[in-house]
Amino acid sequence: MDPETHLNSTPLRRRTSSTAEFNAIPAHVYPQSLRRETAGERQGEVTIGGVPIAEIAETFGTPAFVMDEEDFRARCRRLAKAFGGGHYVHYASKAFLSKTVARWVMEEGLSLDVASLGELQVALAAGFPAERITVHGNNKSPEFLRLAVSEGAELIVVDSLQEIEALSTVAGELGKSQDVLVRVTPGVHVDTHEFIATSHEDQKFGFSLASGAAHRAAMACHTADGVRLRGLHCHVGSQVFEASGFALAAERLLGLWKQLLDSTAALSDAPTSLDTLDLGGGYGIAYMPDQEALDVEEVASDLKSKVRKAAEAAGVPVPKLNVEPGRAIAGPSMITLYRVGTVKDVEVADGMTRRYISVDGGMSDNIRPALYQAEYDCRVANREVAGELLPTRIVGSHCESGDVLVNDALVPDDVRPGDLLMIGATGAYCYAMASRYNMMTRPPVVRVADGEARLMIRRETIDDVLALEE
């Protein structure tokens, strides 16, 4: 099944306008196998990967992350096809990484990018081939660089002059040569949250294009011992749905590319090896019913065409184009499952009453609403509901007034303690950014496929926490 098709789909609206619409499930927000059963003994219940939600909750407890394996794999395949091959698509492991996920990415033929020593160690532990790994990070330790070089990482994206020098030293000590990209901040501003925009000048990543720092860094790579300059990298931000921002960044980077070709031509003893343009990730997904899903094929076709035209305009060979989707693969493939606890009505201004529905997780398993004001869709998963819609907040169990998962929704008034709530599109950054605030341990991650549910990552326990203490 295509990830964008689904049973029980609803019109694109920010909030549900009827109880029937609340019971229906917006196809483009949830995993492809998720559906509400319309007949039989499970009528009204939600299943995912052929497994009833209630059965998952009974077996693995709540809260729990539940990932649709085939949905994840299908998105890998779709992106690989759209961009002309899996080796051009580097899954951004920061979105969500485990040994199982690394193996899925490997089996679907994609490459991988890592942004820390720990991510690299997990990837290698999963048997992921280092020659398909790109290494990121603005503050790479000597240990991180040494492991990447010694294992034969495909590319290291350098982020400072200090790093270029350190990398040259490590490569020399190991008797190796390391291919690199220079991370450039091209001054392209996309419409996204301030904290996830990464292409403006005043931030920690990369070398400024406008100031000439990017050119100086590239030339430093070109002349450094043990370092081979392969190309340029940038990342314009996150939750981007159109190719225009990426295309403008490509145009500016290819202008620098031309300068580098001209500069290195004067160094007859050091021919250039430029061949790779990496435009990063940041492709958006639908979190809410009124948001449209990313048209992967359209964006890929548009971007490849614009890169080709930009290369022709700059008078340089068309580079190999790499992209780094993470959220666009993992995000829609997962839901978070909670059990309802306290249900409380609170009188607020102007005589209005708001219902607060508390669940057994919260900001420790999804910090994004508190951090980015991120919005999520929620539905009752164990049955169809029949009550009247009420203004509602879905909140967690933490000792924080900001522990809000869904800030403003219309939810039927017959939701009761013990019901199961699911929140869609939680595959990216939720488990990855999870904490143990209030000593609420991290939930398990459950994989579902072909009517079977299995643990991918077990639930953290208090014994795990206490074992860290001396």
Take residue 410 and report the two structure tokens written for it: 């219309």
Distance between CA atoms of residues 278 and 322, nearest Å = 4
327 is in an annotated binding site: yes
287 is in an annotated binding site: no
69-331 domain in CATH 3.20.20.10?
yes
Residue 365 sits at φ, ψ, to 5 deg, of: -105, -10
Residue 401 three-state SS: coil
- Residue indicated by tokens 């450039």: 184
Distance between CA atoms of residues 227 and 156, nearest Å = 10
376 is in an annotated binding site: no
Q: DSSP alpha helices (H): ranges in 340-461?
A: 368-372
Q: Under 8 Å CB-to-CB from 242, ≥6 apart: which residues? A: 299, 302
Residue 54 three-state SS: helix
pLDDT digits (tens, 9 = 90+) for 305-339: 999 999 999 999 999 999 999 999 999 999 999 99
Distance between CA atoms of residues 336 and 381, nearest Å = 11
Tell me the residue type at 243: A
Distance between CA atoms of residues 31 and 69, nearest Å = 9
Check 76, 221, 378, 399 and give the catalytic one. 399
pLDDT recorded at residue 51: 97
Beta strands in 413-461 (DSSP E): 420-424, 445-449, 452-457
pLDDT recorded at residue 433: 97
pLDDT digits (tens, 9 = 90+) for 161-217: 999 999 999 999 999 999 999 999 998 865 543 433 444 567 789 999 999 999 999
325 is in an annotated binding site: yes
ω into 63 cis (within 30 of 0): yes
Distance between CA atoms of residues 200 and 181, nearest Å = 19
Average pLDDT over residues 25-33: 96
Distance between CA atoms of residues 296 and 293, nearest Å = 9
Residue 28 DSSP symbol:
T
252 is in an annotated binding site: no
b/e sequence 435-460, b meaning 16+ C-beta within 10 Å:
eebeebbbbbbbbbbeeebeebbebe
Average pLDDT over residues 17-23: 93
13 is in an annotated binding site: no
pTM, rounded to two decimals: 0.93
Residue 12, pLDDT above cutoff 70 = no
Residue 306 DSSP symbol:
H
Domain boundaries, the chain: 19-67+333-467, 69-331
Could you give the angle at the alpha carbon of 112 between the alpha carbons of 109 and 115, nearest 5°? 175
b/e sequence 394-416, b meaning 16+ C-beta within 10 Å:
bbbbbeeeebbbbeebbbbbebe
Residue 336 three-state SS: strand
pLDDT digits (tens, 9 = 90+) for 432-470: 999 999 999 999 999 999 999 999 999 999 999 999 999
Residue 3, pLDDT above cutoff 50 = no
Same fold, 19-67+333-467 and 69-331: no
**399 assigned to active site:** yes
30 is in an annotated binding site: no
pLDDT digits (tens, 9 = 90+) for 63-110: 999 999 999 999 999 999 999 999 999 999 999 999 999 999 999 999
The gap between the terminal CA atoms of the chain, to the nearest Å, is 51
Please provide the CATH number assigned to the domain covering 19-67+333-467: 2.40.37.10
Percent of the chain at pLDDT > 70 equals: 93
Beta strands in 279-351 (DSSP E): 320-322, 334-347
